[in-house]
Amino acid sequence: KEIILPQEIEGNYSGWHIYIIKTAKIVDRDKLVKFLKDNGVAVNFHYPAIYSHPYYQVLGYGKIKLQNMEEYHNSCITLPCFSDLSQKNIKYIGKMIKKFF
């Protein structure tokens, strides 16, 4: 399994305002991002570690590193997810991810 999809826990429901996938291997993430962008898919990153923001580094938070946060940041990407996203574009995004792997 090359990517890990978001899961809903029974009894909890997501608003799905963003759709984040996780690559099984950290090294694949940057290559996948480049491939998708080169093929017209606008991907993004969400929820970087607070301690990586310059404002918090000034306050001394840049001195810590949280292993799970670093893993998340280095392996997750946000796929397009908005109300006007067509089925055609959804299929294209999936096709490009499959083509990459």
In a domain, 57, yes or no: yes
Instruction: Pick the more confident residue, 72 or 64.
Output: 72
- The reply to whether 67 falls in a domain is yes
pLDDT reported for residue 97: 95
Please tell me the pTM assigned to this model. Answer: 0.82
Residue 76 lies in a domain: yes
Specify the CATH number for the domain of residue 58: 3.90.1150.10
For residue 27, tell me if it sits in a domain: yes
- 77 falls within a domain: yes
Based on the structure, what is the number of domains in the chain?
A: 1
* Per-residue pLDDT at 95: 97
Q: What percent of the chain has pLDDT over 70?
A: 99
What are the DSSP calls for the chain, one per residue?
--EE---PPTT-----SSEEEEESSHHHHHHHHHHHHHTT---B-----GGGSHHHHHTTGGG---HHHHHHHHHEEEEP--TT--HHHHHHHHHHHHHH-
Structure confidence by residue, pLDDT tens digits, 15-62: 888 999 999 887 778 899 999 999 999 999 888 888 888 888 888 887
- Per the structure, the complete domain to which residue 96 belongs is given by 18-100
Has residue 3 been placed in a domain?
no
In whole angstroms, give the CA distance from residue 86 to residue 69.
32
Does the residue 4 lie in any domain?
A: no
Please indicate, yes or no, if residue 41 is contained in any of the structural domains: yes
